[in-house]
Structure 1
Amino acid sequence: MPNSDPHLVQQADAVRLFREPEGGAGVAIRATLKRDLVLLMRRRSEVLNPLVFFALVITLFPIGISPDPELLATIAPGLLWVAALLAALLSLDSLFRSDYEDGSLEQLLLSPQPLPALVLAKVAVHWLLTGLPLALMAPILGIMLALPAGSYAVLALSLALGSASLSLIGAIGAALTVGLSRGGVLLSLLVLPLYIPVLIFGAGAVQAAIFGEGVAAHLAILGALLAVALILAPWAIAASLRISING
């Protein structure tokens, strides 16, 4: 069907994906992962925008403040974490938006498969294409902020753990605002207060690595926050989607 409307094709794919009972939840989760990965790779701007924003903020900050290495190293942990947090927030509004617009989100809600598992697969794709690249890019940008070499691994690990929590928490806000035409500002107001604990312990882990202190406690708390988010967030996302779609 070379002349088919892409939105109709997406909706037809969603109907087949979420209505097919064969294979159970495992097959549906794998199919959801594959579908979202393919769709996001076709919309590469949504993947690149957070990374470009992250790089631009870190690049411009030394120009606007000071090139002094000692000052930059002092503010680097908080700056890198705040910039990564805001970059991840940029892509959250579109997490369920395209599915809502083409009708496939309604098929997701009508699926016989468990909705929390399916939305967890969608959040996993968001983290793979946003949170993980930000975590891998951060040590490279840390060089521009005179970050000590011994803190690069801690920076990447803390961002990998923390960004997963940010994706899960942010998906709750994205689900609540998916039916609003201009939900981006409301989404930020909803999720930013919930991001504060992740920000504190993530930046604290990097700060501890710079001063040669123990980082295990900070990373353990980040892991605990991620564990709690993995348990509770999928159910909250599913409930939020039902509220947004069904009222």
Structure 2
Amino acid sequence: MSSVLLAVTRRDLLLARRRRVEALLPLGFFVVAAGLFPIGVGPEPQMLRTIAPGVVWVCALLAAMLSVTQMFASDHQDGSLEQLLLAPQPLVAVVLGKVLAHWLSSGLPLVLAAPLLGVLFDMRGTAIGVLVATLLLGTPVLSLLGAVGGALTLGLRSGAALVFLIVLPLTIPALIFGTGAVGAVEGGQSPQAHLSLLGALLIAALLGAPWATAAALRISLD
């Protein structure tokens, strides 16, 4: 199962490297959208620190949703997804490999760009560190839930809009815990409770989302 996961991950990363513009689109949207807020609300440092966690997390959420519809779409169009379903390897391992590749190409760049946005919003060093930690825990959740939505809407004309409607309500807990952890640090409190809940959410998504995605793929391709 691990060899299948690594093979699928390596394959999708190679494909993402060939389509660099599509791979960098979520990162570009994330940086540009979040960077416009300090210009719009003004240079007041306290105001920027207050809105920073919510702005960064909402932009990260929307950026992640831009690419989840393509997680299975290209394989569905060229027929390779059907071959993966017919292969003797576990479909769950294939799903995990594609989710891991999606996070490495779309989610991890958002985490790496977060400190730059933290400086832009005049956040303190400890708050920036917690923001990066919450995104490191939360962006895999977005990829896992996005895989479920992408599988359910596979082959539909309005799939992108349906993915937003299906996935966005499920990501609200991650948004709450992520922004709450940074807000707790800014208020002089410990972010441990919020980080623990975010970690528990990641574990729950890892235990349920791959199997739900595999079932949705079989239903979509029947």
C-alpha distance in 2 between matches for 1:136 and 1:34: 21
- SS for the counterpart of 2:68 is coil
The yes-or-no answer on 1:76 pairing with 2:76 is: no
- Contact kept, 8 Å, 2:72 with 2:150, in 1: the verdict is yes
Q: Aligned AA for 1:201?
A: F
Question: Given the two structures, how large is their TM-score scaled by the length of structure 1?
Answer: 0.88
Other-structure match for 1:175:
151
Residues 138-179 of structure 1 deviation map (CA, whole Å, 9 limit, x = unaligned): 111111111122211111111010000111011100001111
Q: Cα offset for 1:27?
A: 2.6
Q: Cα offset for 1:69?
A: 1.0
Which of 129, 151, 168 is residue 127 of structure 2 equivalent to? 151
Q: Cα offset for 1:63?
A: 1.4
* Uncovered stretches (5+) of structure 1, i.e. residues with no partner: 1-24
Q: Cα offset for 1:26?
A: 3.1
Residues 15-48 of structure 1 deviation map (CA, whole Å, 9 limit, x = unaligned): xxxxxxxxxx333222111111101111111221
Which of 180, 184, 190 is residue 214 of structure 1 equivalent to? 190
Alignment of 1:99-114 (within 5 A): 99-114=75-90
Which of 87, 96, 102 is residue 63 of structure 2 equivalent to? 87
Other-structure match for 2:98:
122
- Number of corresponding residues: 222
Residues 79-132 of structure 1 deviation map (CA, whole Å, 9 limit, x = unaligned): 110011101111111111100000001011111111011101100111111111
Other-structure match for 1:184:
160
- Contact kept, 8 Å, 2:114 with 2:131, in 1: the verdict is yes
Q: Percent of pairs identical after alignment?
A: 55
Aligned-residue CA RMSD in angstroms? 0.9
- SS for the counterpart of 2:71 is coil
Q: Aligned AA for 1:61?
A: F
Other-structure match for 2:43:
67
- Contact kept, 8 Å, 2:7 with 2:97, in 1: the verdict is no
Q: Aligned AA for 1:111?
A: A
C-alpha distance in 1 between matches for 2:8 and 2:201: 25
- SS for the counterpart of 1:95 is helix
- SS for the counterpart of 1:81 is helix
- Contact kept, 8 Å, 2:153 with 2:159, in 1: the verdict is yes
The yes-or-no answer on 1:36 pairing with 2:12 is: yes
- Contact kept, 8 Å, 2:4 with 2:97, in 1: the verdict is no
- SS for the counterpart of 2:149 is helix
- SS for the counterpart of 2:181 is helix
Other-structure match for 1:194:
170
Q: Cα offset for 1:133?
A: 1.2
Larger Rg: 1
Other-structure match for 2:141:
165
C-alpha distance in 2 between matches for 1:26 and 1:214: 37
